[in-house]
A and B are shown apart, each in its own frame.
Chain A
Amino acid sequence: KAGVTQTPRYLIKTRGQQVTLSCSPISGHRSVSWYQQTPGQGLQFLFEYFSETQRNKGNFPGRFSGRQFSNSRSEMNVSTLELGDSALYLCASRPDGGPPYNEQFFGPGTRLTVL
């Protein structure tokens, strides 16, 4: 099976712009989670989608949003970019809706740089 894929791998934007990142989970996985990874804050949970519904949300401002399509592919959007949004954004998929001890399979990430 192909792993989790994320596109693009690298992205450079300027402050005030918006950006959309894409994630394709492993075939058959219906749960997709997004994380922000920065040197200062580590791995921060953004949100999780399962069967096109947001099931969990982290403590990020409303500028961060996401969605999931019927084929389980997911996108996250960040509007009005700030310098502090520069980070590695990781997507992870899980085999099904539960149980919570199911491991997550991570993609390679999208490196976003905001200038």
Chain B
Amino acid sequence: AQSVTQLGSHVSVSEGALVLLRCNYSSSVPPYLFWYVQYPNQGLQLLLKYTSAATLVKGINGFEAEFKKSETSFHLTKPSAHMSDAAEYFCAVSTGGFKTIFGAGTRLFVKA
């Protein structure tokens, strides 16, 4: 069975600092991995996705994630945080079926 674990329900960084949101997955088959972002009172929006084409994936708003099979990880990073990055971030995994499993989410706070 597939599962997703996001380490840290809350992460706080200063503006301009590195953002690192951790995601580990469990899957018996090669997974498809996603990061979504949710701003207050909105639905989820895709940041980036891994589909086995390249292990380093670049997304919108300066975010990127690296797929590491040996560590079963897909951590999300951004070199320099901006106030507008404050939101909740969800890691998700999908395999051969059409069900997507989401992690519990990590709320990112950005301090001025």
- Contact of A42 with B102 at beta-carbon distance under 8 Å, contacts A56-B97, A103-B49 already known: yes
Residue pair A90, B32 in contact (C-beta under 8 Å): no
Residue pair A100, B49 in contact (C-beta under 8 Å): no
A4 to B44, alpha carbons, bound, how many Å?
11
Indicate if A106 sits at the interface (CB-CB under 8 A): yes
- Contact of A101 with B94 at beta-carbon distance under 8 Å, contacts A42-B105, A90-B44 already known: yes
Interface size class of A (residues with CB under 8 A): 20 to 34
- Bitwise, B29-44 to A at CB < 8 A (1) or not (0) is 0001010100001111
Q: How many A-B Cβ pairs are below 8 Å?
A: 57
Residue pair A56, B99 in contact (C-beta under 8 Å): yes
User: Which DSSP category, helix, strand, loop or mixed, fits chain A's interface?
Assistant: strand
Indicate if B7 sits at the interface (CB-CB under 8 A): no
- Bitwise, B70-112 to A at CB < 8 A (1) or not (0) is 0000000000000000000010001111111111110000000
**Residue contacts A-B, CB under 8 angstroms, 14 given:** A4-B43, A31-B98, A42-B105, A45-B101, A58-B99, A90-B43, A92-B43, A92-B44, A100-B94, A101-B32, A104-B44, A106-B36, A108-B43, A109-B43
Q: Contact residues of B with A, CB < 8 Å?
A: 32, 34, 36, 41-46, 49, 51, 90, 94-105
